[in-house]
Amino acid sequence: MSGLNLDELRNQVSGDVIGPDDGAYDEARKVYNAMIDRRPAVVVRPKNADDVVAAVNAARENGLDLAVRGGGHGVPGFGTCDDGVVIDLSTMRSVTVDPAKRTARAEGGATWGDFNDATHAHGLATTGGIISTTGVGGLTLGGGIGYLARGFGLSLDNLVGAEVVTADGSVRTANDDDNADLFWAIRGGGGNFGVATAFEFQLHPVENVYGGPIFYEVDDAETVLRFYREFIADAPEQFGGFPAWQIAPPLPFIPEERHGEPFLAFVTCWAGPIEDGPANVQPLLDVAPVVAQHLGEMPYPALNSAFDALVPAGLQHYWKANFVSELTDEAIQAHIEHGPKVPVVSSTVHIYPINGAVQRVAPDATAFAYRDANFAPVIAGMWPDPDENDANVKWVRDYYDATAPLSEEGGYINFMAADDQDRIKANYRGNYDRLVDVKREYDPDNLFHLNQNIRP
């Protein structure tokens, strides 16, 4: 091992410095995906940006790998490493709201649950993910797709600035005026450019929403998916939602005798005037017979945490993804062939819409390049039993092999696997060369390489 001196690091860091001999080590080295089992030299849980600087310097000066963890949800396990330094930001989660300016400042380890709770108190929200335990950090730096994306753009489109600790140990402000190239790159470039210790977001008035899940028979999936493709092209932008393959969980609104069967579900969210909700969801109730539904008015954070229980920490994860411009008849057939084979209740495929406000941003305005794609599907294998790894990975791969040729070459970096590193250029299209330039400027030695890596 290197000359890393944990006592020296403890003197520099006000938060926790957890080494292999500490009682907290086994819990601290874990990430959300239970397939990942790594043993870092140290896990630093910082209290502030100065602690992050100390950890970044320790990794650089000792020639160690450096992993950065926000919410810990990253499926490829880049949030931990063997023998290196892990910066676990879960101790930096505060969110403060400025209701007059309609902005929120979130520390780098905040989850969407932390964020939504703070902003909802002021009747405000911004685009986040659909599970409340996911980190603001990883999700925003890669893109940020959720219920509000058609109306307000990706999470990163709502970013107005960030505080970033770069590889040289400097704390930098990144926004349109300061380090504008860094600001451009972190909006889609993932964790390649430094540790974001804080994010500042634009907020929007969103309080209660109308929506919830609808379940259809597998036999009606073709009708529903064909309808979805047309409907979402010009549905009002306050409508967010997506079709999903879903095994029926044992919930009271689903007939008991159907629990455990696969369905095509549609998760809906109307974020416009609440009285207009039922009319805007009605087309999805009319398109095919409904087996079960659970629609109603609810606080936005309630919808954002409604499915958390389906995906607890500690499942095995393997995900694949491509962007899709056109959901062709052939693609729908591929979904219908593989979707109903979804092996377990926690696994799913979501076909997220990314039109509306997402497409009004120019492809070179931020690092996120796929501004003309209409859909971001994800094949999300998430299963409890490690003995079932082969069967579950095979389901994801078979599904992916059938749909990838009918999709764009690139995909959303936040839905990709560790074996997708060779697709990095395709993910960024014409923005790739500029990303390399910015990487050379801020991280010439690729200290931040545990990510979908942009090589300097």
Ligand X SMILES: Cc1cc2nc3c(=O)[nH]c(=O)nc-3n(C[C@H](O)[C@H](O)[C@H](O)COP(=O)(O)OP(=O)(O)OC[C@H]3O[C@@H](n4cnc5c(N)ncnc54)[C@H](O)[C@@H]3O)c2cc1C
Q: Which residues of this protein are in contact with ligand X, per CB under 6 A?
A: 32, 68-75, 78-79, 89, 108, 129-131, 134-135, 137-139, 141-146, 190-191, 195-196, 311, 414, 451
3-state secondary structure 149-201: HHHHCCHHHHEEEEEEECCCCCEEEECCCCCHHHHHHHCCCHHHHCEEEEEEE
Q: How far is the CB of 222 from ligand X (least distance, A)?
A: 25
Q: In this complex, which beta carbon is closest to ligand X, that of residue 128 or of residue 339?
A: 128
Q: In this complex, which beta carbon is closest to ligand X, that of residue 293 or of residue 316?
A: 316
Q: In this complex, which beta carbon is closest to ligand X, that of residue 266 or of residue 291?
A: 266
Q: In this complex, which beta carbon is closest to ligand X, that of residue 146 or of residue 381?
A: 146
Q: In this complex, which beta carbon is closest to ligand X, that of residue 196 or of residue 295?
A: 196
Cα-Cα-Cα-Cα torsion 6, 9, 13, 15, nearest 10 degrees, comes to -10
Distance of CA 352 to the CA centre of its chain: 12
E strands in 259-385: 262-270, 290-293, 296-299, 316-320, 348-353, 375-383
d(CA 183, CA 195): 13
d(CA 396, CA 444): 35
Q: How far is the CB of 16 from ligand X (least distance, A)?
A: 17
Q: In this complex, which beta carbon is closest to ligand X, that of residue 115 or of residue 228?
A: 115
Contact yes or no for 356/374 (Cβ under 8 A)? no
Q: How far is the CB of 194 from ligand X (least distance, A)?
A: 6
Q: How far is the CB of 310 from ligand X (least distance, A)?
A: 9
What single letter denotes the amino acid at residue 412? Answer: Y
Contact yes or no for 257/284 (Cβ under 8 A)? no
Contact yes or no for 353/232 (Cβ under 8 A)? yes
CA distances 174 to 143, 339, 406, 448, Å, are: 17, 42, 38, 17
Q: How far is the CB of 50 from ligand X (least distance, A)?
A: 15
Q: In this complex, which beta carbon is closest to ligand X, that of residue 193 or of residue 291?
A: 193
Q: Residue 101, class by beta-carbon neighbours within 10 Å (0-12 exposed, 13-18 middle, 19+ buried)?
A: exposed
Q: How far is the CB of 425 from ligand X (least distance, A)?
A: 18
Query: Nearest CA to 70 among 37, 41, 32?
Result: 32
Query: Nearest CA to 55 among 24, 10, 94?
Result: 10
Q: How far is the CB of 296 from ligand X (least distance, A)?
A: 21
Q: In this complex, which beta carbon is closest to ligand X, that of residue 68 or of residue 291?
A: 68
Q: In this complex, which beta carbon is closest to ligand X, that of residue 89 or of residue 287?
A: 89
What single letter denotes the amino acid at residue 311? Answer: V
Q: How far is the CB of 256 from ligand X (least distance, A)?
A: 27
Q: How far is the CB of 413 from ligand X (least distance, A)?
A: 8
